[in-house]
Chains A and B, each alone.
Chain A
Amino acid sequence: MSSSNPQALLIPLLLAAIGALLFWAFWSGLTGHEGERLAALALERVPESGASNPVTSVLLNFRAYDTLLELAVLLAALLGIWSLGPAAAPYQRASLLLDSLVGWVVPMLIIAGGYLLWIGGQAPGGAFQAGALLGAAGVTLALSGRPNAGLPGEAWLRVLAALGTLVFALIGLTLMGVGLGFLTYPPALAKALILTIETGATLSIGATLAAAFLGGRPRAKRNAEP
Chain B
Amino acid sequence: MSHEILLTQLLYGGAGILFFLLGVWSFISHEPLWRKLIALNIMGAGVFHVLVAVAYRGLDAPPDPVPHALVLTGIVVAVSATALALAFGRRLDREAPEHTSDAHGGVDDREDGTHA
Contact = CB atoms under 8 A, between A and B. Distances in A.
Contacts of A15: 21, 24-25
A84 B76 CA distance: 21
A89 B29 contact: no
A172 interface: no
Classify chain B: how many residues form its interface, as a range.
35 or more
Nearest to B25: A15
Interface in B35-89: 50, 54-55, 57, 62, 64-66, 68-70, 72-73, 75-77, 79-81, 83-84, 86-88
A215 interface: yes
B17 A70 contact: no
A59 B57 CA distance: 19
A214 to B, nearest CB: 9
A208 B18 CA distance: 32
Main secondary structure of the interface of B (DSSP, over half): helix
B68 A55 contact: yes
B59 to A, nearest CB: 15
Given A58-B65, A85-B91, A126 B80 contact: no
Interface of A: 1, 3, 11-12, 15, 18-19, 22-23, 26-27, 29-31, 37-39, 42-43, 54-55, 57-59, 63, 66-67, 70, 73-74, 77-78, 80-81, 84-85, 88-92, 126, 128-129, 131-132, 205, 208-209, 212-213, 215-216, 225
24 contacts: A3-B29, A15-B21, A22-B21, A26-B50, A29-B54, A30-B10, A38-B64, A38-B66, A43-B62, A58-B68, A58-B69, A66-B73, A67-B69, A70-B76, A74-B76, A77-B77, A78-B80, A81-B83, A81-B87, A84-B90, A91-B110, A131-B76, A209-B79, A212-B84
